Structure 1
Amino acid sequence: MRDSVAFEVALNGRGLSSSGRIVRTAIPAIEHETVALPAELVRDDGSLDVYEDVLNKFRPTYQKNIPSIQCSGWVGYIPLNDSFALEVSTRVPVGNLERLVGMAAGYSPAVLRKYSRLFSDTKDRPEALVDVLADHLLDAFDRIWAGGLLKTYDQVVNSGSMPSGRIMPFETELLSAKMGRPAAVSIAFRRTSDFGPNRILRHAFEKLLARYLGLSDPAQRMRTQRLRKALERLAGIGYAARSDLTTQSIARHVERLPSNHATYADALLVAHLVVHDLGLSIRQAGGIAILPSILIDMALVFEAYMRRVLADGLADDPALEVKDGNKAGEGGAKLALYDPIAAGNANPPVTPDIVVEKAGKPLLVIDTKYKPAPKIPERGDVNQVVVYGVRYATEQVMLLHASRPNGRGHTEHCGDIGAFRIHNGMIDLNAASIENEERAFVSAVRALIN
């Protein structure tokens, strides 16, 4: 809390982030909900006064003859125009959204780079959000470099026969007497970029470079190249002292920024997160950093998160493998629906979210459903998962839901359809100890496949 307050004081009318920030009235919403819009969002011609590049993420409609927007699956702060924004929450209680995003291997959030918001910090650091931090810091530094590095005056003491600056009479007399010939001690001031703010940026870039080195993904290689270039530009800057890297020190630098170097506010606020290994709180606003709005697709996050939970939880058995039915190739289990198929017909794919195999043979097919757990799975969902069971030649199939009502287990046998055993899977994403909840779900799955 004290950290946030320090930065809120520093941002009070200072820096590019503060001056460019738009304060919008927040309209609370829940994903997939239809939300009535204020009259101010409707133009005289009946059209919606909403940013064009944001409007395509929603479906404009009318509810009880009132202009409304039907939210999609995005969660987060979504600016509508310069006056209003939607704050979209999850449809099921999620105690730690950052943990889910962090464990959702391969998931990347959508970033509305034209629109910013004020974020609070958190100790969870999802890899995808670190990418957002790195990009924002590099973009801010590019603007800094274009305008010139911030400089300060450094005091230099000279001794000898060639004084520079102001001569110190007492020190000059002592030096002359000691050397037995005329000599002078003088003090001069030189302009230098080698001081606190630039040392902080160098430290942040070095930490990020250590994180990205060796990654083979093309996007990560591009970040590595940009980080190397930033460090080359800071080649004459020394290492930051421990006192330079404290929250209070960084906040003071932001607070004292001259008006012609306002871009440093963006860079130093993000550098603070990098230096202190902090992440972004996706839902909670605060005063720690101003960054582009980040949107999360919870259905995709839930699917990738549960794949990771099972893969990690079952890793002690080398014969078991958890695969992604949405992709082919290594780690994937995607199949064509028909085998064989009549000549000339298109063959659609079969894409279950999770396939658990033992020694290459499917034992359990799971389809994730990011919605509250019903008493028994919906008919359409059952039809879908039974087709998966047929195609993967496994009798155990599950529909996995993103909640677990009190008193219910992590897996329930709903009944059989022919040779197929239908299971209702459940996990409480709002559990006080999500780690215990994950372990209990893995144990229940292990009992099914053993």
Structure 2
Amino acid sequence: MTEVRDRVLVIDCVEYDHIDVDASLWLSEGHETQFNSEIDGRDILRANFKKGVLRLQATSYVGVIPINDRVVVRVKPRVPIANLTRMVRDTGHNVLALATLDREYSGRGTADDWAMDIYTDALLDYVDELLDAGLLRAYERREGEGHFPHGRIDVTRTMQRFAARGVPNKAAYSWFERTVDTPANRCVKAAMDVIHGHLSKTRSKPRKGDRAKLARLAGHFHAFEEVAEDPDYRFLDDPQVLGLIPLPDPRSYYRPVLDLSIVILQGVGIALELGGSDVRLRSLLIDTNKLFENFVRVSLAKHAATNGWPAEVVDGNTDAGRIDLYDVPNPLPAPFGTPMAALASRDPGKAQPDVVLKTLDSSFPLIAEVKNTIHGMNADTDTLPERGEVEQAVTYALRYDLPFTLLIHPWIKGTKGLVYVGRVRSVDVYDYRLDLSSDAGVDAALADMASVVAGLAGLDVTQAPTSG
């Protein structure tokens, strides 16, 4: 779907779709791409030829992507994922926040550390903008009594308090005073207090950047020192804070920070799916390839710990799971009479499966490759996995001395669960199609996947677990 909003072209597509947008909107006269600086140089959009026409193509990043000030692309996942937010939350997966575009999100569930980290960055940026544009001030009525009145004389009170008692040289009076101590500012300050608590809480591992954020927050508190604290959150009854009545036009920039402050104070989480109107944040992009891999691995690790597997689930991209890809034989081969030096003696390479099961004796009963690719979407029957994926998985199985290998894909159509693909010489190839299309069925699908993995690995759960 394509639409035009305020002279900005908005295009909807799914991952890896080619995007129909005139090249003049994203190419200069010198045939250089005109992408905003935050996506330029990243593998978020690709320019390539299709049927002789230069076109843009989305990649694995989903979310709202501002190409430039004329074109915005909304990319959705190509596989049915019921709860993208859960996957990000469970894995602690990093998201890419684009400062060049804000978008609206829905609130959902309870704010955990992941959501609070996003809220922290957003609130700090919003308060910077408030201080640059000016804090909201309001005129509040003040009253006084004395020998030197100013403002407006309150005749009735003056007569009652002084004239009737024969005091001719004192008066009661009132005046209006501009103040930053308003419900809106009290709301923002209360949200800053919550963020301060989030940044200050004790953690097993200090997080990079928290000190700088605390220092930045301290400067914000200084700017709000004339704003009173309201521990009872009475400002949440104010119709202007709640958005029931509009803010003054010159102070309309307060709306996003007030919405965000309310979400923070209510402890509401964030839903990453497209659509919503509860809070406005930077556009958050998610690399679904890495997310799917992390989600599978983290889910298997949780099942291993919970069910006492005698093996731990590790990442083959780390030292705990990877091994050398090449051996250097002794003696070296000499096909022409003279032994040939092996490049692997200097660099043996690495075999790095996405998922590795490792036992106490450091053996490896199973390796798996996790691929967020689709196959069979337009076919009437189940189709083979991509050949390159099979070749990689079989190579790793041979290197780990296993008689089988496992691929894990997101289900999109056809058979769910475990599929036997076939045998490549001595290696049996299995493919597990994980169904994430139903939020209610995700836990059952993950439990089934874990049971299949444990069965293929031949794990005996009565042995001593390695984790948990």
Deviation at 1:302, TM superposition (A): 0.6
- Of the structure 1 ranges 307-316 and 284-293, higher mean CA displacement relative to structure 2 is found in 284-293
TM-score (norm 1): 0.80
User: What is the CA–CA distance in structure 1 between the aligned matches of 2:80 and 2:238, rounded to whole Å?
Assistant: 32
- The superposition leaves residues 10-59 of structure 1 with CA deviations (integer Å, 9 ceiling, x where unpaired) of xxxxxxxxxxx966222222212223323653779584774253464433
Selected match of 2:20 from 26, 29, 36: 36
Residues 287, 147 of structure 1: CA spacing in aligned structure 2 closer, same or farther, 3 A cutoff? same
Selected match of 2:179 from 165, 184, 192: 192
- The superposition leaves residues 362-411 of structure 1 with CA deviations (integer Å, 9 ceiling, x where unpaired) of 332121110236544343322212333344455553110011645x4523
Equivalences for residues 278-297 of structure 1 within 5 A: 278-297=268-287
Question: Secondary structure of the residue that 1:185 maps to in structure 2?
Answer: strand
Task: Tell me if 1:121 matches 2:106.
Answer: yes
Question: Which AA in structure 1 matches 2:88?
Answer: V
Contact kept? 1:157, 1:185, Cα under 8 Å: yes
Question: Secondary structure of the residue that 1:382 maps to in structure 2?
Answer: helix
- Which ranges of structure 2 fall in alignment gaps of 5 or more residues? 330-341, 376-381, 460-468
Which residue matches 1:17? none
Task: Tell me if 1:354 matches 2:355.
Answer: yes
Selected match of 2:371 from 366, 369, 372: 369
Selected match of 1:412 from 396, 415, 419: 419
Deviation at 1:151, TM superposition (A): 1.9
User: What is the CA–CA distance in structure 2 between the aligned matches of 1:273 and 1:350, rounded to whole Å?
Assistant: 45
Deviation at 1:102, TM superposition (A): 1.8
Which residue matches 2:393? 385
Equivalences for residues 301-320 of structure 1 within 5 A: 301-316=291-306, 317=308, 319-320=310-311
Which residue matches 1:244? 235
- Which ranges of structure 1 fall in alignment gaps of 5 or more residues? 1-20
Which residue matches 1:430? 437
Which residue matches 2:68? 81
Residues 438, 274 of structure 1: CA spacing in aligned structure 2 closer, same or farther, 3 A cutoff? same
Selected match of 2:124 from 132, 138, 146: 138
Higher Cα Rg: structure 1 or 2? 2
Residues 162, 205 of structure 1: CA spacing in aligned structure 2 closer, same or farther, 3 A cutoff? same
User: What is the CA–CA distance in structure 1 between the aligned matches of 2:253 and 2:175, rounded to whole Å?
Assistant: 29
Question: Secondary structure of the residue that 1:312 maps to in structure 2?
Answer: helix
TM-score (norm 2): 0.78
Selected match of 1:273 from 263, 269, 276: 263
User: What is the CA–CA distance in structure 2 between the aligned matches of 1:254 and 1:131, rounded to whole Å?
Assistant: 30
Residues 421, 228 of structure 1: CA spacing in aligned structure 2 closer, same or farther, 3 A cutoff? farther
Question: Which AA in structure 1 matches 2:213?
Answer: R
Residues 129, 38 of structure 1: CA spacing in aligned structure 2 closer, same or farther, 3 A cutoff? farther
Which residue matches 1:335? 323
Structure with more of its chain in helix, by fraction: 1
Deviation at 1:413, TM superposition (A): 4.2
Question: Which AA in structure 2 matches 1:121?
Answer: S
User: What is the CA–CA distance in structure 2 between the aligned matches of 1:357 and 1:199, rounded to whole Å?
Assistant: 54
User: What is the CA–CA distance in structure 2 between the aligned matches of 1:363 and 1:254, rounded to whole Å?
Assistant: 64
Sequence identity, in percent? 24
- The superposition leaves residues 75-131 of structure 1 with CA deviations (integer Å, 9 ceiling, x where unpaired) of 1222233332222221212122222222222x22223322x1432313055755543
Which residue matches 2:197? 210
User: What is the CA–CA distance in structure 2 between the aligned matches of 1:78 and 1:126, rounded to whole Å?
Assistant: 25
Contact kept? 1:100, 1:301, Cα under 8 Å: yes
RMSD between aligned alpha carbons? 3.4
